[in-house]
Amino acid sequence: MAPSILRMQLQIEFTGLGHVNTYALEDDRGFAVVDPGLPGEASWNMLQERMAAAGIPLHRVHTVIITHSHPDHFGGAGLLAEQSGAQVMASNFFRTWWDPTDTDDELDEAADAADEADHHTGTQRIAGRLTQFGRPTPWGGRTERLPPERVAEIERNREEAFRWFRVPQVSLRVADADRVQLAGREWMGLFTPGHTNDHLCLYDEQEGVLLAGDHVLPNITPHISGLIEDDPLRLYVDSLDRVAALPHLRTILPAHGDVFTDLPKRVDEIKEHHEDRLEHLRQICDATGWASVRQLSERLFAERNWGSMAESETYAHLEHMRHAGGAERRERGGLLEYRIT
């Protein structure tokens, strides 16, 4: 893909994207491996096959890098680190919502109840947290809107997946503008919130390479998380502009899709997409008057996409409009409602 960088593409079904790009960065100490896929036997075996084909034995992996806290990126990181003895690198903001430092009493009670019912302990307790479909949202209601068949599928696969899951213990946290040595040269960490609140890109100015994670993808527009405080869409657009302005970029390595070269063009396309979504949402709000996030999301998205992710992105766009003075909100019956001003 670039000097001293290999791609090991792992097939996945979790996101509907078909794969995750796992990158191996070689130096005189061995290899750093970026985003080693989902937890589970099939994913682990595939990673081992890809590493063997690339001539990367486990004992030569010195660092496992996580770009952000989605399971297709961090799910295999803990086991790879355990088996190889590698350190784990992630953003200084990296944490998952089941993090042991989380002080959400309601979440703890739900996890404890799941543990008692399922007799889970240790890592399996994490599995209990990951499959609690009822987490409160900033816009009101709870995230229980996965289709029943999807919930049943996750529950069926939970035991198998989490036999292979280890909690990633991050030993090297990278803050914005921190410098790290990878592939025999210096890289700069870039805090790039929007898709998550802990997203880390890595920039190699010498070779003009950006490890982009899910921040910028070549063919699809990354989801914007409404779980980030304040104005997540503004945070995302600002961080898009920042990476687009990086000098000497020649190679963008995304977590999904093919390698591409023209980052400013792709950033403009993504920003245009969000402007179109904002205009569509303004038209919907104008027609409906006061409406909840769920009601608006079901007008903004096709029915096949209804659910928590659609609501999350709708909320992010509504908050962006509100911060810009183009919408107002109120609380009614425990739900936030919006209308344009």
Listed in sequence order, the residues at least 6 apart from 341 whose beta carbon sits closer than 8 Å to its beta carbon are 325, 326, 327, 328
Q: Is residue 90 part of a domain?
A: yes
235 domain-assigned: yes
Q: Which of 163, 194, 209 is the last residue of a domain?
A: 163
Tell me if 80 is assigned to some domain.
yes
Kindly give the confidence (pLDDT) of every residue in the chain, 341 residues in length, as a single tens digit, with 9 standing for 90 and above: 999 999 999 998 765 688 999 999 999 999 999 999 999 899 999 999 999 999 999 999 999 999 999 999 999 999 999 999 999 999 999 987 555 444 333 333 333 333 333 433 445 555 444 444 567 899 997 765 556 666 676 666 666 667 888 999 999 999 999 999 999 999 999 999 999 999 999 999 999 999 999 999 999 999 999 999 889 999 999 999 999 999 999 999 999 999 999 999 999 999 999 999 999 999 999 999 999 999 999 999 999 899 889 999 999 999 999 999 999 999 999 999 999 99
* 90 shares its domain with 180: yes
In a domain, 267, yes or no: no
Shared domain for 145 and 290, answered yes or no, is: no
Whether 85 and 197 map to the same domain: the answer is yes
Residue for token digits 């779980």? 227
Last residue of a domain, one of 163, 187, 205: 163
Query: How is residue 67 written in tokens?
Result: 């770009």
Domain limit, last residue, from 142, 163, 184: 163
Both structure tokens of 223: 């989801």
Q: Look up the CATH number of the domain holding residue 52.
A: 3.60.15.10
Residues 143 and 210 in one domain: no
| CA–CA separation, 191 and 91 (whole Å) | 7
Residue 76 forms part of a structural domain: yes
Residue type, 168: P
The verdict on 199 and 323 lying in the same domain is: no
Specify whether 239 is located in the same domain as 137. Answer: no
Return the half-sphere exposure (C-beta side, CA atoms, 13 A cut-off) of residue 121: 1
User: Is 270 a member of any domain?
Assistant: no
215 close to 192: Cβ distance less than 8 angstroms: yes
Residues 109 and 82 in one domain: no
Report how far Cα 338 is from the mean position of its chain's Cα atoms: 27
Task: Please list the alpha-helical segments (H only) found in 88-223.
Answer: 105-118, 123-130, 148-163
- Judgement on whether residues 296 and 251 belong to the same structural domain of the protein: no
**If residue 273 lies in a helix (H) or strand (E), which one and from where to where?**
helix 263-288
**CATH (domain of 305):** 1.10.10.10
pLDDT of residue 122: 44
Q: Are residues 138 and 201 in the same domain?
A: no
269, part of any domain:
no
What's the domain range around 320? 276-340
- Tell me the C-alpha distance between 255 and 212, whole Å: 7
196 and 70 in a common domain: yes
Residue 129 is encoded by which pair of tokens?
A: 């947290």
Count, in order, helices (H) and strands (E) of the chain. Answer: 10, 14
Which tokens is 3 given? 């000097």
Q: What is the pTM of this model?
A: 0.88
- Domain count across the chain: 3
Q: Is residue 271 domain-resident?
A: no
Report the pLDDT value the prediction gives residue 112, as an integer from 0 to 100.
39
DSSP state of 230: S
Q: Are residue 61 and residue 209 in the same domain, yes or no?
A: yes
Are 288 and 206 part of one and the same domain?
no
